Amino acid sequence: MSHRLFIAIRPPCAIRDALIDLMDGVENARWQDDDQLHLTLRYIGETDPHQADDLAEALGRLSVAPFELAVSGVGSFERKGVPHTLWVGIAASEPLLHLQRKIERVCVSVGIAPESRKFAPHITLARLNQSCGPLAPFLARHAGLALGPWQVDTYALYESHLRPQGSLYEPVVTYRCEE
């Protein structure tokens, strides 16, 4: 049996509450719920149990100091000119990029194919389809969004379980950021 994995940072409750308060104003958007709010550091995808164990063990050997993150602005991802994801951005952070690069090296070291997409730190607010209303009013209203900063002292390896009502994300192993 394979596991659908990703590595992410979970924002603290106060940040998640503030993000949930934003979730309105785009007709037919599939808003994320509290349990789905995270900042993906690396999507892994389908992985066999042996490789999942190797990854979990290798991540446990990483050393990274705690650092701060902040939410900054909103935006959307598009495919062929059609928006599919509404997100909040993460303010530029060298420690975040450092952690993400370390995680990428660990993934490759256990045989996971290198990530081909550029790292774009964000937290997904909603999934969109062609029946969704216009995004421009939402994007304009929240363009200057700034939340935080908050202290990042953990990140986790998650398993994603696909369900009709949306994915369920289960933390498998949580790792501490320690000096």
The verdict on whether 84 is a catalytic residue reads no
Q: Which of 3, 50, 122, 161 is catalytic?
A: 122
The verdict on whether 122 is a catalytic residue reads yes
The CATH number for 159's domain is 3.90.1140.10
Position 168 scores a pLDDT of 84
CA separation for the pair 177, 152 (Å, rounded): 8
Position 120 scores a pLDDT of 95
Q: Which of 38, 84, 142, 161 is catalytic?
A: 38
CA-closest candidate to residue 119, choices 99, 141, 100, 93? 100
Amino acid at position 77, single letter: F
Amino acid at position 151, single letter: Q
pTM, 2 dp: 0.94
Total domains in the fold of the chain:
1
**Which H or E run contains 97?**
helix 94-109
Q: Look up the domain containing 158 and give its range.
A: 3-176
Radius of gyration (C-alpha) of the chain in whole angstroms: 16
Position 106 scores a pLDDT of 97
pLDDT for 1 beyond 80: no
The one-character DSSP state at 18 is H
More confident residue, 130 or 164: 130
106-146 pLDDT, tens digit per residue, is 999 999 999 999 999 999 999 999 899 999 999 999 999 99
